[in-house]
Each structure stands twice: as structure tokens, then as C-alpha cells.
């Protein structure tokens, strides 16, 4: 990976364009300015590589520099969560102080607002580890996409993960609304393509729609002027995943 400056400029430009006339641009610029203070002290390394503990935890953790490594780290954390071995290493005072001046998260994760899928808990990560964006059914809008762009471009995480989950109520409500031909709310409208794409696939209708939604969200994110080029350059890995409520397992697509 190279220095984050070029992608940062792209991010600011794209965000300003996408958020013209809204408060998002101002919020993003404020956030960028705040991050500059931390970044100035470490301009020769990539954000992920600059972190002493590679995005968190005890000093035994090697730095995360690639999307594959970030994915492995998330899977390791999920394995601890599933087996009731969660370490909660990045949640104490030591970690809070360590990341108080600058942050170097190693993954950006888009998940659902479902109360049973708290991202940091599912992956056993703590302060300064993950950029987490949540919306019902992982539905994208300018704010959600802009926040994800901030994570990958400004904070330089080498991984962007879209995490769907079992029995997603937002997708289920969309199926029911479409079947009833009732009012089409914003969420239903946004999730409708996933339900339609999954139509006819063998197996459970809701589960299929949830998987299709993750695929479609990833496809939409690849169209972002910030995210698409980052992936093409090899600096960013995009991945989809499915969280099983029954087992706690995250299954990478
Ligand atoms: Zn959900």
C-alpha cells in the first residue's frame, strides 16, 4: 500500500459531490480534519501498518496490512466469540489510552441494525479496531456509503465487509410488504431488488434474499468513485458474509 494522501483527495472530492447540499460533506470534512492530527505524526506508513498492534489488542498481534489478513483476524475473533473464548482485549483503559490520539482500524464493516448482531462483539474486537456502519438490512444511502468511504479511504482499512444475517427482519418485512402489495417504504424499495433476484432459487426464500442482498450491496459499493478504484488498485478487499443467529458463526461468502 502507498501513502493514503491520493485516496484521501478522491474521498473528499467524491464525498463533496455526493453530499452536495447536505450536512454530510461538512461532517466528513470535520472528521477528516480530526483525523489529520493523528495522521501527521505517522505519514510514512499506511494507517493499518502504522498501528503498533495492527488494529488492536495485545502486543502479540502482528500488524494487519492486507485485506486477507484483516479477514483472518475477524474470523479468529468470531471463532473466539462462538466458543465463548472472547478475550475483550481491546476494551480496557490501556487500549483506550493507546488509541486516544490516533486511530488505525483494520476493517470497515457494514452490518444490520439488528440488536442480536453487534459487530464488535461478534468479532471480539474493541476500541479502535473496526469502523462500523449499521443500517437496517445493510441498505445504502448517501450517508451510509459516505461513511463506508470514510472508513476505507480516510482511515485506510484494507477490508470492507458487508455482513448480512440470518432471519433479517428488514428483508423479511420486505418480502411480506411485496406479497401484500402494500405501501412501499424506503427500506422495502431498497431491498426489493434482493427479494426479486432471489426469486426462484431453491431453498428458503428469506435466507436466499438475505444472501442476494449482500451481493447487491457489494455490487452497489463497487460503483462508488472511492471504493471501486481502491479495490481495483488492490489496496482494498471487498467481501460479503452471513451471520448465523443460531450458532454465532460468521460465514464468509
Ligand atoms: Zn437485519
Q: State in Å: Cα 77 to ligand 1 middle.
A: 21
Cα 138 to ligand 1 centre (Å): 7
pLDDT at 148: 98
Kindly give the distance from the C-alpha atom of residue 171 to the centroid of ligand 1, in angstroms, as a whole number: 7
What pLDDT digit, counting tens, does each position of 58-98 carry? 556 888 999 999 999 999 999 999 999 999 889 999 999 99
Q: Per mean pLDDT, which range of 111-125, 143-157, 171-185, 187-201 is the poorest?
A: 171-185
Q: Closest Cα to residue 152, out of 215, 118, 105, 113?
A: 105
What CATH number has the domain spanning 5-252? 3.40.1050.10
Ligand 1 centre and the CA of 213: distance in Å? Answer: 11
Ligand 1 centre distance from Cα of residue 112 (Å): 5
| pLDDT the model gives residue 183 | 66
What separation in Å is there between the alpha carbon of 163 and the centre of ligand 1? Answer: 9
Residue 182 Cα to ligand 1 midpoint, Å, equals 21
pLDDT band at 40 (very low <50, low <70, confident <90, very high): very low
| C-alpha 100 – ligand 1 centre gap (Å) | 32
Distance from the CA of 32 to the center of ligand 1, in angstroms?
30
How much distance in Å is there from the Cα of 141 to the middle of ligand 1?
16
Position 25 scores a pLDDT of 42
C-alpha 157 – ligand 1 centre gap (Å):
24
CA of 111 to the centre of ligand 1 (A): 8
Q: For every residue of the chain, which 3-state class applies, written as one string?
A: CCCCHHHHHHHHHHHHHHCCCCCHHHHHHHHHHHHHHHHHHHCCCCHHHHCCCCCCCCCCCCCCCCHHHHHHHHHHHHHHHHCCCCCCHHHCHHHHHHCCCCCCCCEEEEECCCCCCCHHHHCCCCCCCEEEEECHHHCCCHHHHHHHHHHHHHCCCCEEEEEEECCCHHHHHHHHHHHHCCCCCHHHHHHHHHHHHHCCCCCCHHHHHHHHHHHHHHHHHHCCCCHHHHHHCCCCEEEEEEECCCCCCEEEC
Are 124 and 56 in contact, with CB atoms under 8 Å apart? no
Mean pLDDT of the residues in the chain: 83
Cα gap 22→176, rounded to integer Å: 33
Model pLDDT for residues 213-243, shown as the tens digit of each residue: 999 999 999 999 999 999 999 999 999 999 9
Query: Distance (Å, rounded) from C-alpha 78 to C-alpha 194?
Result: 26
pLDDT given for residue 47 in this prediction: 42
Query: What's the 23 CA to ligand 1 centre distance in angstroms?
Result: 27
130/104 Cα distance (integer angstroms): 9
Amino acid at each position: 500500500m502507498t501513502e493514503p494522501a491520493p485516496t484521501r483527495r478522491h474521498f473528499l472530492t467524491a464525498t463533496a459531490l455526493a453530499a452536495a447540499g447536505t450536512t454530510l460533506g461538512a461532517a466528513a470534512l470535520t472528521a477528516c480534519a480530526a483525523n489529520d492530527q493523528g495522521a501527521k505524526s505517522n505519514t510514512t506508513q499506511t494507517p493499518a501498518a502504522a498501528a503498533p498492534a495492527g488494529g488492536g489488542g495485545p502486543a502479540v498481534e502482528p500488524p494487519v496490512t492486507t485485506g486477507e489478513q484483516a479477514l483472518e483476524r475477524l474470523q479468529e475473533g468470531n471463532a473466539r466469540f462462538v466458543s465463548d473464548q472472547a478475550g475483550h482485549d481491546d476494551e480496557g483503559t490501556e487500549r483506550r489510552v493507546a488509541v486516544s490520539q490516533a486511530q488505525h482500524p483494520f476493517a470497515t464493516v457494514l452490518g444490520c441494525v439488528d440488536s442480536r448482531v453487534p459487530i464488535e462483539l461478534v468479532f471480539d474486537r474493541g476500541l479502535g479496531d473496526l469502523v462500523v456502519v449499521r443500517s437496517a438490512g445493510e441498505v445504502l444511502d448517501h450517508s451510509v456509503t459516505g461513511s463506508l468511504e470514510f472508513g476505507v479511504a480516510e482511515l485506510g482499512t484494507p477490508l470492507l465487509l458487508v455482513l448480512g444475517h440470518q432471519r433479517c427482519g428488514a428483508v423479511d418485512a420486505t418480502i411480506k410488504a411485496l406479497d401484500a402489495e402494500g405501501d412501499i417504504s424506503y427500506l422495502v424499495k431498497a431491498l426489493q431488488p434482493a427479494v426479486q433476484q432471489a426469486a426462484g432459487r431453491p431453498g428458503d426464500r428469506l435466507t436466499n434474499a438475505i444472501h442476494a442482498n449482500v451481493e447487491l450491496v457489494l455490487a452497489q459499493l463497487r460503483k462508488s468513485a472511492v471504493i471501486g478504484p481502491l479495490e481495483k488498485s488492490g489496496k482494498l478487499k471487498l467481501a460479503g458474509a452471513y451471520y448465523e443467529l443460531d450458532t454465532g458463526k460468521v460465514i464468509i461468502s
